[in-house]
């Protein structure tokens, strides 16, 4: 082989290796950037959900709902209603600001986060509507809402355990 052919082959080989390294390097940078965003997003959702759950636990909403349901079923405290803070975007700034990026998370986590926040909003909506409803509707809503509150709490606890990306 002549020196010119060897030089041409080495030049071609260098160009191919350089191209592969450039593409691979950019892919690695993109992967790391996406992974960092994913970790930050998961951590933010975890913190917000944990904060909501801590608030619910500290204020003991579940006991309040059980006590109110028992009182209503006995015919007592018929005008008493309770509420759950945390059912509007103003009280869920992480979710409101990042819902469009939720697809960066693992599919099950993304689905369950959306489900969690939708359940919170539905519970809040039902509770907000209690004062304007006739008593029998309030009683039915609380009877169906209490198990839904428990499912929402359990899903939140599960998410807190799962949203530890690294």
Instruction: Indicate the pTM of the whole model.
Output: 0.77
pLDDT tens sequence for the chain (166 residues): 788 877 877 677 777 777 766 776 777 777 788 899 999 999 999 999 999 999 889 988 889 889 988 988 888 877 776 666 554 545 578 888 888 899 999 999 999 999 999 999 888 888 888 888 888 888 898 899 999 999 999 999 999 999 998 7
Distance CA 35, CA 27 (A): 12
So what's the pLDDT on residue 116?
Answer: 95
Contacts of 14 (CB under 8 A, 6+ apart): none
Distance CA 82, CA 67 (A): 11
DSSP-derived 3-state class of residue 116: helix
117-145 pLDDT per residue, tens: 999 988 888 888 888 888 888 889 889 99
Distance CA 23, CA 112 (A): 35
Contacts of 127 (CB under 8 A, 6+ apart): 81, 82, 83, 84, 87, 145
So what's the pLDDT on residue 21?
Answer: 63
3-13 pLDDT per residue, tens: 887 787 767 77
């Amino acid at each position: 082989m002549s020196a010119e052919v060897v030089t041409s082959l080495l030049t071609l080989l260098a160009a191919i290796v350089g191209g592969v390294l450039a593409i691979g390097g950019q892919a690695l940078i993109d992967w790391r950037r996406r992974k960092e965003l994913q970790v930050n997003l998961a951590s933010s959702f975890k913190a917000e959900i944990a904060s909501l759950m801590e608030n619910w636990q500290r204020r003991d909403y579940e006991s309040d709902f059980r006590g109110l349901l028992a009182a209503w079923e006995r015919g007592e405290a018929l005008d008493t209603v309770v509420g759950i803070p945390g059912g509007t975007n103003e009280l869920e700034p992480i979710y409101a600001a990042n819902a469009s990026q939720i697809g960066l998370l693992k599919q099950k986590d993304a689905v369950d986060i959306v489900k969690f926040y939708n359940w919170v909003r539905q519970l809040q909506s039902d509770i907000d509507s209690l004062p304007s409803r006739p008593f029998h509707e309030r009683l039915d809503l609380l009877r169906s809402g209490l198990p839904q509150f428990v499912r929402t709490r359990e899903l939140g606890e599960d998410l807190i355990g799962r949203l530890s990306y690294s």
